[in-house]
Amino acid sequence: MKRFALLVLALAFGAAQAGNLAHADRKFIEHAAESGMFEVQIAQLANAKANDLQVKNFAGMLADQHTAANNELVKIASAKGVELPPAPTRSQRREIDKLGKRNGADFDQHFVREVGIKAHEKDIKSFQKARDDVQDADLKAFIEKTLPMLQDHLAQAQKLPEAAAKK
């Protein structure tokens, strides 16, 4: 009975913390988690499947750095009592599947353009908007730490030869 009471108290405390979190903050956590999981999964695929060594190295770096950012976000979400989505969105999972069907230079070009450039441009915009919208200090710190990483990933992707290759 004592354990049950402690569990109820812990759940109530987590719910109270989540209740204190602004809606925009909670939505940002959920979106960032989905995006982060997508980046890791698709980068792991590219690390295994890329033809070009530069693309393979870029993908490995993305997987490592996004995993670290995801781990930090998990800690924040847990402390705030926010339940994270279990996987990337359905459209992100479809993108992973579509990329997995490509091979060789076509795979590399698609990965660099769609993930290295377009996905990072989208993430940067999302983080810049969240920087102005979120209220939680821990989330603001996470955004300030992660945004330069995303900008660096975009800059690195734009320098890869596959970024300029024709479709």
Distance (Å) of CA 118 to CA 23, 39, 101, 111, 130: 27, 12, 19, 10, 18
- State the residue for tokens 């091979």: 103
Specify whether the CB–CB gap between 84 and 15 falls below 8 A. Answer: no
pLDDT, mean of residues 37-57: 97
pLDDT of res. 11: 43
pLDDT of res. 166: 56
The model's pLDDT over 9-24, given as tens digits with 9 standing for 90+, comes to 444 444 444 458 999 9
Buried/exposed code over 127-155 (b: 16+ C-beta within 10 A; e: otherwise) = beebeeebebeebeebbeebbebbbebbe
Which domain covers residue 97, as residue numbers?
A: 2-164
Specify whether the CB–CB gap between 81 and 118 falls below 8 A. Answer: no
- Give the Cα separation of 1 and 8 in Å (integer): 11
- CATH number for the domain that contains residue 142: 1.20.1260.10
The total of structural domains in the chain comes to 1
- Give the Cα separation of 154 and 160 in Å (integer): 10
The model's pLDDT over 95-127, given as tens digits with 9 standing for 90+, comes to 999 999 999 999 999 999 999 999 999 999 999
Nearest Cα to Cα of residue 33 among 79, 67, 81 = 67
Residue 84 zone, left/alpha/beta (φ > 0; ψ -120 to 50; rest):
beta
How does DSSP classify residue 83?
P
Specify whether the CB–CB gap between 65 and 153 falls below 8 A. Answer: yes
pLDDT, mean of residues 41-67: 97
